[in-house]
Amino acid sequence: MKKMKKLLALLLVVAMVVSLAGCAGGKDSGNEGGNSAETTTKKTDDNKGGASGSELAGTYDITVWVADAAVELTKTQIDNYNKTNEDGVTINATIEAVSESDAATNMITDVEAGGDLYCFAQDQFARLVQAGALAKLGTKAAETVTSANDPSVVSAATAGSELYAYPLTSDNGYFMYYDKSVIPDADVDSLEKLIADCEAANKYFAMETNTSAWYLAGFFFGTGCVSEWVTDDDGAFVSVNDTFNSDKGLIAAKGIKKLVDSKANLSSSAADAFASDAAIVVTGTWAFEDVKAILGDNMGVTDLPSFEVDGQQYHIGSFNGCKLMGVKPQTDATKQAVLHKLAQYLTGEECQMERFEALSWGPSNTADQQSEAVQSNPGLAALLAQSPYSVPQGQIHGSWWDIAKVIADDIKAATDDAGLQTALDNYSAKMNELFNMDDSVKNAWTVIGAVGGTNWDTDFEMKEVDGKWELVEPMELAAGDEFKVRQGLSWDNAFPADNFVVETAGTYTIVLDPVSGEVTLK
C-alpha cells in the first residue's frame, strides 16, 4: 500500500513537471479540476481532438463506484455530461455498485484496482488520505465547492488545509420518530415527559445510548462539550481537544442516566423497533420509509428533545455527517483533470437535486437545501430542525467509537454523582492511553466480533506468521458468528469490508493476509 502511494505520488510529480514545461495554461487551467489540472499535458494522438479543440477532448474509459440504488441515475447523469460538456469529452464509464461503507476498504486494499471515481462515507476519509487514495482539488475547484456546499461537509472533506473530496450529501444525522397514538405532540420537546409517556404505556424509548458512541455523544454536545480531532495534511491524527470529562460532561451524564435507568430504555436505532412496542426511535432519514410503513398516519417526525438538570434545559445534540465523492490519483494528468471536472458535475447543484428527487438523499448544496421540495420532506425537515444543535462529524480516530460507547454502561452502574464522575474519569484514562499506545500495539492485528461469548467488546490477540496474521489460540466458532480483523484496536483498518460470517461450526484459526485484506479460516 505504501509503495503504491509513493509510486502514484512520483508519477504525478513527473506528469506535472512535463505539463508545466509544455503548457502556459489556457482557459481550462485550474478552473475545474484538481492540482494536476492546474496545467494540462498534450494528449496522445489516439485520444486528442474534438469539436471544441480543448486539450481535454477525447474518450476516456473510467470506472465509477456508487451505491447500488444510484447506479442507473449515475448512468443517466454521465450521459448528460457527455452531451453537455464543452470540452469535447466523452466518458465511457463502467459503473459498479459498491456501497459507501465498503468503498474505502476496497480502495485501501488495492488503490490501483479501485474506482477512478468512488463514493464513500465521511468517517472513512482519514484512512483514504493516509493511503494516498484521494487526489487533492485544485485551488479554483476548492473555491467553487466551498462556496456552494454546507460548511460542515466541506470540513469533513478537508485534511489540514487541503480539500480532498467532493461533497455528495448532507443527510447522515439523527432525529426523533414517534408514535402519535402514544406520544402527545405537546411532549416532544421534553425528555422527561417522553420517558414518562413511554413508561405509562409500557412502550420503549429507543436510542442507541448503550451501544453506539455516535448517538451517545449527542448528550455531551447538548451541554457544550467538544471532541475535536486534529489531523495533519496526510490524514494522521496528531491531537484531540476533548471536554467530555468536565463540569459540562457531568451534566450530560446526568441526562443520560435519566434515559438508561428507565424501564423504557432500549438501545436501538432500528425502525422495526416500532413493531416491537417502541413509541420512540431515534434514527435517521434512511429509516423514513420503514417507519412510515409501520406507523402510517401515526408517524411523527421531529428534532431531539431537551433534558433538565438543576433547573436548566439542554437540547440533546447530534452528529451530522455526509457522503463524499473521491477522485483516485492518476498517472495521466489529463485524465485526472477530466475526472475532477466530472466529479464536480456529479456533485453539483443539478445532480444533487436529481438524487434527492430519485432517492431522497439530502443535498449538501446550500441552494438545494433551501428548495421547497427539500424543506417539505419530513425527514430532511427534522434533520434541518436538529441542525442548529448538531456537530459536524469531522475526522475521528477509529478507536474512539469503542472507547466512548461504554460510557452509558458505566453511567447506568453509577449510584451517585461520584460514580458518574468515575465513568468520565475512566473515559479520559482510555483517551490518554490511545495517544500513548505502543507501536507494537498500533501495528498489531486482532479479532473482534460476536465470537467466543463476547459481543464486539473484546479483542483477541493475533501473531505474525510468514507475512500473515493468525489467532494466537484457535477459537471455537458457531455457525452464524460474525467478526472482523482490525489493526491497532481501531476501525480505521478492518477486514473484511462486510463482517465475516461463519458458515460451519468448528474450532478454527482465523488468518489475515494484510496485503490483500483476505480473511480465512483454517
For residue 489, the model assigns a pLDDT of: 87
CB-based burial, 60-82: b 16+ in 10 Å, e otherwise: bebbbbbbeebeebbeebbeebe
Q: Name which of 447, 160, 191 is nearest 304 in CA terms.
A: 191
Q: Using alpha carbons, list the distances in angstroms from residue 154 to 151, 240, 284, 350.
A: 5, 20, 21, 18
Do the domain assignments include residue 407? yes
- 382 and 271 together in one domain: no
User: Is 31:140 a contact under the CB 8 Å cutoff?
Assistant: yes
At 164, which amino acid appears? Y
- The domain tally of the chain equals 3
258 is a domain residue: yes
Q: Are residues 63 and 105 in the same domain?
A: yes
Residues 122 and 267 in one domain: no
Q: Which helix (H) or strand (E) holds 247?
A: helix 247-260
Is 92 among the domain residues?
yes
Does residue 4 sit within a domain?
A: no
307 and 202 in a common domain:
yes
Q: Report the CATH number at residue 96.
A: 3.40.190.10
> What pLDDT does 101 receive?
81
Q: Is the dihedral of CA 206, 209, 213, 218 positive or negative?
A: positive
Gyration radius of the chain over CA positions:
25
Residue type, position 16, single letter: M
In a domain, 37, yes or no: no
Note whether 91 and 110 are same-domain residues: yes
The helix/strand/coil state of 147 is helix
Judge if 135 and 182 occupy the same domain: no
Residue 263: predicted pLDDT: 98
Give me the pLDDT at residue 492, please.
77
Q: Assess if residue 42 is contained within a domain.
A: no
Same domain, 301 and 423: yes
pLDDT along the chain (522 residues), means of 10: 39 37 32 38 36 78 96 98 97 96 88 96 88 95 96 89 95 95 98 98 97 96 95 80 97 98 98 97 93 97 98 96 95 96 98 95 94 91 91 84 94 97 96 84 91 88 94 94 92 86 95 93 94
List, in sequence order, every residue forming a beta bridge with 94; answer none if it has no partner: 63
Q: Does residue 134 fall inside a structural domain?
A: yes
Quick check: is 29 in a domain? no
**Does 415 lie in the same domain as 295?**
yes
| The last residue of a domain, from among 434, 463, 497 | 434
**382 and 400 together in one domain:** no
Residues 401, 426, single domain; the answer is: yes
Burial 217-233 (b: 16+ CB within 10 A, else e): bbbbbbbebebebebee
Q: Is the pTM of this model over 0.85?
A: no
List the domain range (segments joined by +) for residue 430: 177-320+394-434
Q: Where are the beta strands (DSSP E) in 106-150?
A: 117-121
Strands 58-66, 89-97: parallel, antiparallel or unpaired by DSSP? parallel
Q: Verify that 152 and 60 share a domain, yes or no.
A: yes
Q: Cell triple for residue 472?
A: 494466537
Residue 29 vs residues 8, 73, 139, 337, 347: alpha-carbon distances, Å: 22, 30, 11, 9, 20
Q: In whole angstroms, give the CA distance from residue 90 to residue 59.
A: 5
Question: Do residue 504 and residue 414 come from a single domain?
Answer: no
* C-alpha to C-alpha distance for 38 and 19, rounded to whole angstroms: 9
